[in-house]
Amino acid sequence: MSKPIRIVSVVGARPNFMKVAPIHRAFKQYAPEYEHHIVHTGQHYDAAMSDAFFQDLEMPTPTVFLGIGSGSHAEQTAKVMIAFEQTCLELKPDLVIVVGDVNSTIACALVAVKMGIKTAHVEAGLRSYDRSMPEEINRIATDAICDYWFTTEESGNRILKESGFPEKHIFFVGNTMIDSLHFALSKAEQSTVLQELDLKKGAYGLVTMHRPSNVDDPVQLQSLLEILAKISSERAIVFPMHPRTSTKIREYGFADIIRSGKQLVITHPKGYIDFLALMKDADFVLTDSGGIQEETTVLGIPCITARTTTERPVTVEMGTNILIQPNPQAISTALHDIVHLPRKQGAIPPLWDGKAAERIAEILVTQCIKAQ
Ligand code: UD1
């Protein structure tokens, strides 16, 4: 019997887990000729930021856990590179899959490509054109060196083609994050998180904020917290807080602002199923995340994105997402409009149908790996 073809998918930070879980499932139908392994860099390591997602998404224990943890960008990226090179020497993958735009994505792509291992980028071609975002640098650099590009939306196809990447290796497959949403929606129906937090369906706003541009600057963070505290006198606000944000709140001494919010509920980061349950029954979502713009579009929940740019324009063009300046006045106006004016009706973007990972596996098996 010939040796199985070995594929390694990299996960590192929270938004990677829901993108890789469906890819792992999709490769099962190609076993035993194809083996799919998950390598976890450990960029995110807290139970709430990592382990909970493996359970909720029914992912197996990773084949390798690199245990990198936090650090400066250079430190984190460099540590992932050194450890992943060793992993590649040991596992000898025939193909590496990286997803999204986190530091682990560029670190592992750079290692694999330089070792002569074919590398595929899932969620390729997205651009915010804001180079102050670390994720934008990761996207540009990862796309520049990969061999195969799998895109979620038309803007990605266009950007990659305009950049001169070979069209025959650009595959418009849809969104694996939405595959996970389809997978988990019935479980989210069973979640008891609303009762636990004493929230009523459709009567609360869900908030997430963790971008360095919103939370690292004390003036910006203070004004965001003040507006949330103010809004919470009229409507319950639930804010599952990213560790970066809670650390900054402690560091800057802003706990009192939170305490002043009448119905402002701060929680630890939620697992995937509970977060989905909170999202699908929210009146609106206010966020600076990338993936939440996509999930709310599919769920039809109004999403206010407090960022000056989005790398996911289809969520604004077709979906329920609106972009606003991340300042208190713009947030107040947007929330007032959501409550008092007719809401933007969205549609689901093409191929966001829960089958993106199946397309990726099929294309890799039939068109890419065979041709190598
Ligand atoms: C990273 C990604 C971002 C993604 C986000 C989702 C990059 C450049 N950014 O940002 O695209 O939207 O993850 O969460 O890769 N921390 C913990 N426990 C953890 C993880 C982080 O306490 O499990 C704390 C640490 O203090 C750390 C800080 O959060 O220094 C930031 O973590 P890091 O992974 O560096 O970046 P994120 O802001 O999470």
pLDDT at 229 over 70: yes
Torsions phi, psi of 25, nearest 5? -65, -40
pLDDT value at 336 more than 80? yes
**Cα 59 from Cα 362, distance rounded (Å):** 20
Q: What confidence score (pLDDT) does residue 355 get?
A: 98
Q: Which of these ranges, 89-103, 168-182, 321-335, has the smallest mean pLDDT?
A: 321-335
Select from 60, 115, 59 the least CA-distant residue to 87.
115
187 lines ligand 1 (CB under 6 A): no
218-238: average pLDDT: 94
Per-residue pLDDT at 41 exceeds 90: yes
- Alpha-carbon Rg for the chain, nearest whole angstrom, is 20
pLDDT the model gives residue 62: 98
> How many other C-beta atoms can be found within 10 angstroms of the C-beta atom of residue 194?
18
Q: Which atom of ligand 1 is nearest to the CA of 102?
A: 15
Domain 186-340 is found in CATH 3.40.50.300: no
Q: What is the mean pLDDT of residues 233-248?
A: 96
Q: Cβ(70) to ligand 1 under 6 A? A: yes
In the structure, what pLDDT confidence band is assigned to residue 183 with cuts at 50, 70 and 90? very high
Q: How far is the CA of 91 from the centre of ligand 1 (A)?
A: 27
Query: What is the chain's mean pLDDT, rounded?
Result: 96
Q: Would you say residue 66 has pLDDT above 90?
A: yes
Residue 248, pLDDT > 90, answer yes
* Ligand 1 proximity of 120 Cβ (cutoff 6 Å): no
How sure is the predictor about 86, in pLDDT bands with cuts at 50, 70 and 90?
very high
Give me the pLDDT at residue 338, please. 86
Give 297 Cα–ligand 1 centroid separation in angstroms.
Answer: 24
| pTM for the model | 0.97
Given a cut of 80, whether residue 195 has pLDDT beyond it is yes
pLDDT digit string, tens, across residues 202-212: 999 999 999 99
pLDDT higher than threshold 80 for residue 370: no
pLDDT of residue 371: 66
Residue 193 structure tokens: 């998180």
The residue-averaged pLDDT of 299-319 equals 97
Question: In this predicted structure, what is the pLDDT of residue 28?
Answer: 98
Whether ligand 1 lies within 6 angstroms of the CB of 123 is answered as: no
Q: Hey, what are 30's tokens?
A: 């190609």
**Predicted confidence band of residue 265 (pLDDT cuts 50, 70, 90):** very high
Mean per-residue pLDDT, 351-367: 98
- Could you state, in order of their start, the residue ranges of all structural domains in the chain? 5-175+352-369, 186-340
Q: What percent of the chain has pLDDT above 70?
A: 99
Nearest alpha carbon, ligand 1 atom 27? 70
| pLDDT attached to residue 351 | 98
Can 210 be counted among the known catalytic residues?
yes
Q: Is the CB of 247 under 6 A from ligand 1?
A: yes
- Tokens 């999403």 belong to 303
Please indicate whether the domains covering 5-175+352-369 and 186-340 agree at the CATH topology level: yes
The residues with which 322 forms a beta bridge, in sequence order, are 304
Name the active-site residue from 210, 268, 336, 340: 210
φ/ψ of 118, rounded to 5, equals -60, 140
pLDDT, one tens digit per residue, over 88-103 is 999 999 999 999 999 9
What's the 212 CA to ligand 1 centre distance in angstroms? 10
pLDDT score, position 2: 82
Fold topology of 5-175+352-369: Rossmann fold (3.40.50)
Question: Could you tell me which of 13, 159, 35, 183 has the C-alpha nearest to residue 100?
Answer: 13
What is residue 84's predicted lDDT score, i.e. its pLDDT? 99
Which pLDDT does position 1 carry in this prediction? 64
In sequence order, the β-bridge partners of residue 204 are 236
